[in-house]
Structure formats: structure tokens, C-alpha cells
A and B are shown apart, each in its own frame.
Chain A
Amino acid sequence: MLFDFESMRTVTQVFMFLLAGLSLATVIGWVLSLQNKQKNYTELKQRINSWWIMIGIFGLALLMGPLVTVLLFAMLSFIALKEYFSMTPTRLVDRKVLFWAYLTIPLQYYWIATGWYGMFIIFIPVYAFLFIPFRMVLAGDTKNYLRAVGNIHWGLMLTVFTLSHLAYLVMLPSEGEYQSLTMSGDGAALLLYLVMLTQLNDVAQYVWGKLMGTTPIAPTISPNKTREGLIGGVITTGVLAMILAGLLTPMIWWQGLLVGLGIGIAGFIGDVSLSAIKRDIGIKDSGQLIPGHGGILDRLDSLTFTAPLFFHVMRYFYF
């Protein structure tokens, strides 16, 4: 159903808070650039503008129901995989294999839209991961074969398998109801909880790092990441998760705190694992789709680790 405000009351309320926070950030951005004319705040402003657009798209998709949300994440997976293949070295002989890799996206999201959990959970790590090396054997070129298999597998893992867990979250029904593509259940709130905390965790780690960061935590991978930033971010995320748990999830406060701390740590790992890829290739950003942020992978990197972990914790304990 379009714009089902009633069943989405808490989601809408939390969104209002988010928009209020973003408005505040926008005003602060204006004030800063007016007060301090010498310094250049273009990137900060670009970042905030991009947040408006990203939150707008995400919010609309959530309100319009699970089908639209699933389609949105399918599109995000496609752009992310394209970005991944465009930045990593691939072999000319594997062009057809890459085509098959793209084809996993509509299939994977089809399993999600039909609620076929068993297929959703094994399709990429079993069928796709076995089929792709087989298809590459058919191509017959063994030079750099292992490296190419690893490259394509990790790309599918990062951009299709892990991100599709976000879409499956939105399919989770409310208690006593059936899975449906038109009615949002409790899954929509869980999705909002996870995405919001993961993104806020990124911001919090950045801000804490800027404010008091001194000890580098991964100097060879991401020199700007500090132990203080990580700890401050994880605690901030834990506290926020604790506050929001009662509103958006079936968890009680201390469970929310634990999950929030987990999201903080997993988000950090997702972030540095993409940084490692970029450092290996020798680029700074994965792309430039989102002004002020870089590519789409730069924005989704933390979610690649938090999404499957959060999904399985929720599924194991509550659904």
C-alpha cells in the first residue's frame, strides 16, 4: 500500500527526528561558512546535500512498501557491483563471466521478493560461487585464474549477497502475520534501525576521531582511523541503539546496547575492508556518484558487514 503511515507510525516518527537532525546539520553548515569565509566548506555542504537525497530516497522507498524497497536495493547492488568491476582489474576473457555475475542480482532479489529464504541464503555462496569458476574453466585461460575467481567472488559477496540482507530485512513480517510485498511489517523498522545506526556510526567514528583521535589503529590500511574514534563511535552507536531498541525492534534496552556495540565494531570492519581493497588498487574513492562522499561503495562499505550479522541475530532470536 502506498504511504501506509498508520502501520509505519514509529518508522515515520524516527524519520522526523532524522530530518530534524539533518536540518540542524544544514543550518550549522551555513553558519560555519558564513562565519569563517576563508575556510572552504564545499565538501561539508556537498556531503550534507547528498545526505538529504539519500535519506529522501530511502525514506520514500520504505514508506512505499517492501516491493519498492527490494527494487531499490537491487538497483544499489547493481551500481555497487558495476563500481566494483570498474575499479578492480578483470580479464578480457572473463567478460561473459562478469555478465553472469550481473545476472545474479535479479535472481537474488527475486528470491527475496518471493520470500524464499532457503534459496536467498545459499544462492550466491553455493550456486553462484560454484558456477562462476566453472564458467571460467570453460573459457580456458588459466593465467591469473585464481586471482580472477577471488576477485569476482568477493565482488558478489560484498555488493550482492551482503547488501541483499537489507532487502530481506524489510520482508520480515509482524508477529502473527504473513510475509507480504505490499504491507510493511516489523522488518521496515528493523531496516531503518540498522541503516541509521550503521551510518550514524560512520559519522560518530569520524567526529570522535577528529575531536580526540591520536593513536592510529590501522596505519597501513586507513591512516586516519584512530582507536579513540573507534571507541567513541562504538559507544555512541551503542547508546543510540539502546534508546531506539524499544521503538523500532523487539529487543529490550540491554539487548539493544549489545547489538549497537556489535554494529559499531562490524561497521568499522566493513569500512576498513573496503579501504584495504582501495589501497591495494591505489585509489582513494570507489567512484564519484555521491558528491562529497565518493562512490556508492564508499557509503555502503560498513553495511556490507553489519547487514548480514544484524540480520542473523534478529532471525535467530526473534523471527
Chain B
Amino acid sequence: MMKYINLALRWLFFALIIKPIVKIVIGLRYQNQPILPQDGPALLIANHNSHLDTMVLISLLPLKILHKVQPVAAADYFLKNKFMAWFTLNIIGILPIERQGKDKTVNPIEQCAKALDSGKILIFFPEGSRGEPEKMTDLKYGVVKLAERCPKVPLYPIYMHGLGKTLPKGDALFVPFFCDVVFSEPMTYENSQESFYGEVKKRFANMQDSVKLPKWD
């Protein structure tokens, strides 16, 4: 019973609060035709500059598959206290993983793979944490390992620009800027870890180049 109430709350939260904020107050500008999964399993990979990244990515997807969408997030950060844990687990719907090195008994890649096996759409930030506003840090190897573990699942690379200005790390003041979104053809794991890593990196570099907008001074 509680599960359905939480699902309904989650739907309402995104339909009535997040989607209007993302579409009207922030405003999305698609740089090309949207390329998005219509159903799970799928893996959305995106650059990470702001807490808003997750909100925008979820808003890109149709509400009817909302119940399958799970952003992958660090357990130690998002499950800090009881309310935050309830909110992130049930309303945002995160898949909490232990960051590497913290607890060796659970394998975060395996946690994500299980969710994909059950048909979920995961939102995954290959950079790890958010970093400096509007700057991409180097990708970590987690995404490659996950893709190798689930070679049939399509990866949808998405690049977002502007959210690091709207709500950067460590700042609570929301200042609206348009968010430019770039989509890329879905990809699946092939060849070796190194070559796939290079391929993903190249995709992000290309998408980043297609947005010619001012960076912060």
C-alpha cells in the first residue's frame, strides 16, 4: 500500500512541480532532435554539474515510464538523514550505491546491473561527482564496467549546458539560465574496455563542441 502512495506522490511531484520548473522557469533548448529510450532497460549517461541534472533528465522522459527511472546516486551523501533518505529513495527514486572503497562487500556495478536486468532506466553520471560549474572532469571507468557487464543495454549519452550556472555545487540560490541539451545516438559495449572508454569520451567531446555558448569568466 505504502508503495503505491509513494509512487503516486512521485508522479505528482514530477508532473506538477519539477516538469513545470524545468520547462518554464529554466527552459530547455534541444540542440538536435531528442534521442531517448521509450522503455527500459536503458542507461542514460550525462555530464554532472548540478543537482538539477537529474531533474532535467527525468523531465526529458515521458511520465508514463517514470516508475522505471532510477538515478544512480551515492548512498553516503543522499541517505544522510531520515527525511532525506525517504525523499531521495521514494520521490526522486534513486538507486543508492556505496562509493568505491567504502564497503568492499557490495559491488556498485553489480547493483546497477541488477536494476538494468529488471528493465529499469538508470541515470548515470560517469564523472562521479558534480565538480566545478560548467566544467567536465575526466570520466571514470564505472560506466565502461557497467556497459561490459550489460552488453545488450543501450547507452544514451546526453550533454547539458547551463545548469551549473543555474544551481552550482555548494550554492542554494537558484538563478535561471536556459539549459541546452545535446543528444547522441545510443551505443552498446564493444571491443575492449579502453576502446569503449575512448568512444564514450569522444561522444561527450563532440556534444560539448556543438554547444557554442559562453562559459563562466
Contacts and interface: CB of A to CB of B under 8 A. Distances in A.
Contact of B214 (A82, A88, A98, A143): A88
Contacts of B173: 95-96, 99
Q: How many residues of B sit at the interface, in one of the four size bands?
A: 10 to 19
Nearest to A99: B175
Residue of B162, B175, B176, B177 contacting most chain A CB atoms (<10 Å): B175
B23 to A, nearest CB: 12
B40 interface: no
Contacts of A15: none
B175 A98 contact: yes
Contact of B217 (A85, A91, A96, A282): A91
B171 A86 contact: no
Contacts of A88: 214
Interface string A2-38: 0000000000000000000000000000000000000
A85 B176 CA distance: 9
Contact of A95 (B162, B165, B214): B165
Interface of A (DSSP majority class): helix
Contacts of B175: 95-96, 98-99, 102
Nearest to B180: A86
Given A95-B165, A282-B212, A283-B212, A90 B217 contact: yes
Interface in A142-187: 143-144, 148
A95 B217 CA distance: 12
Interface string B173-188: 1011110000000000
B177 A92 contact: no
A92 B134 CA distance: 10
Nearest to A144: B217
A287 B29 contact: yes
A141 to B, nearest CB: 9
Contact of A86 (B30, B133, B178): B178
A220 to B, nearest CB: 21
B27 A82 contact: yes
Contacts of A96: 173, 175
A92 B176 CA distance: 13
A148 B214 CA distance: 13
Interface in B28-50: 29-30
Contacts of B213: 86-87, 283
A288 interface: yes
Contacts of A83: 178
B4 interface: no
B83 interface: no
B162 A86 contact: yes
B214 A87 contact: yes
Interface string B183-212: 000000000000000000000000000001
A112 B29 CA distance: 31
Given A95-B165, A96-B173, A287 B178 contact: yes
A151 to B, nearest CB: 10
A288 B29 contact: yes
B216 A90 contact: yes
A143 B216 CA distance: 13
Nearest to A288: B29
Interface string A277-288: 000011100011
Nearest to B174: A99
Interface in A236-290: 281-283, 287-289
B177 A85 contact: yes
Interface in A68-112: 79, 82-83, 85-92, 95-96, 98-99, 102
B214 A281 contact: yes
Interface of A: 79, 82-83, 85-92, 95-96, 98-99, 102, 143-144, 148, 281-283, 287-289
15 contacts: A82-B176, A85-B177, A86-B177, A86-B178, A86-B213, A89-B217, A90-B214, A92-B168, A99-B173, A102-B175, A102-B176, A148-B217, A283-B213, A287-B178, A288-B30
Interface of B: 27, 29-30, 133, 162, 165, 168, 171, 173, 175-178, 212-217
